[in-house]
Amino acid sequence: MEEYDELIPHPDKAGCLDLTHRSWVELDSVLWTFSKELLVLNIAFNNIERLPPELGHLTLLRDLNCSCNKLSSLPAEIGKCTRLRTLKANGNRLTEIPQTLAQCVLLDTLVLSENKLRGVPAALGSLQGLRVVRLGNNDLNYLPHQIGTMPSLEELDCQGNARLDMVPAPFRGERAGACAHRGDLAQCAARDMDAEHETLDK
């Protein structure tokens, strides 16, 4: 994509790079050479169909916004972005999330609404600092109880998932609990765990 080279600016002094609204289908490889300076990358509102494994080169990245594209997956190498704090991938075509995302131990905000997700990895429950999880308007039918036991979780939004059954009623349907208290989440997770055990015992 040499024709794009002149169109891609370098990150600004704060390490931010805004590449929104460019109608791109793919990203120029020059992006992955910014590993020592890129902290915030915004590629929202394009037509991007794929993020390459080279995303993992951006080890200093703190904020990735790839919302409103045509992504069907995220590369496993995103787990190498260990300083990532915010991931916004809403408004895509994602059907699954890589287990390796759990390696982003500083993750604070995860926005995955308006996709085609059928589930989320239980491994995400190991993210001790995750405060906000937005999963609304997907195709979820199961939510691991580990999600509700995360100690820092403040907001869990799973509304608009009509087939979601392994989560208590307050977190389903049109009135899904978008801003539940931590104690409520823990109780809900415990009840789901009991339900799983009952199912296995039958």
Question: How do residues 12-38 score in pLDDT, each as one tens digit?
Answer: 999 999 999 999 999 999 999 999 999
* DSSP code, position 89: -
Mean per-residue pLDDT, 177-192? 44
Mean pLDDT of 180-197: 45
CATH code assigned at 56: 3.80.10.10
Which of 202 and 32 is assigned the larger pLDDT? 32
- Residue 47 scores a pLDDT above 90: yes
The answer to whether position 81 is within a domain reads yes
Q: How many domains does the chain have?
A: 1
197 has pLDDT over 70: no
Residue 38 lies in a domain: no
Distance CA 127, CA 193 (A): 19
Strand ranges (E), 66-154: 86-88, 109-111, 132-134
Q: What is the pLDDT of residues 89-100, one digit of tens each?
A: 999 999 999 999
Domain range enclosing 101: 51-201
Domain assignment present for residue 17? The answer is: no
Percent of the chain with pLDDT over 90: 69
How far is the C-alpha of 31 from the C-alpha of 186, rounded, in Å?
41
Which of 81, 80, 112 has the alpha carbon at shortest distance from 97? 112
* 42 occurs within a structural domain: no
Assess if residue 12 is contained within a domain: no
**In-domain check, residue 189:** yes
Cβ contacts of 196 within 8 Å, gap of 6 or more: 145, 166
Q: Report the b/e string of 156-171 with b at 16+ CB within 10 A.
A: bbbbbbeebebbbeeb
Tokens standing for residue 54: 């080279």
Residue with tokens 């998932």: 161
Task: Indicate whether 72 belongs to any domain.
Answer: yes
pLDDT at 90: 98
Residue 1 lies in a domain: no
Instruction: Write the pLDDT tens digit of every residue in 110-158.
Output: 999 999 999 999 999 999 999 999 999 999 988 888 887 889 999 999 9
Residues near 71 by beta carbon (within 8 Å), at least 6 away in sequence: 48, 49, 50, 51, 89, 92, 93, 94
Secondary structure of residue 186 in the 3-state scheme: helix
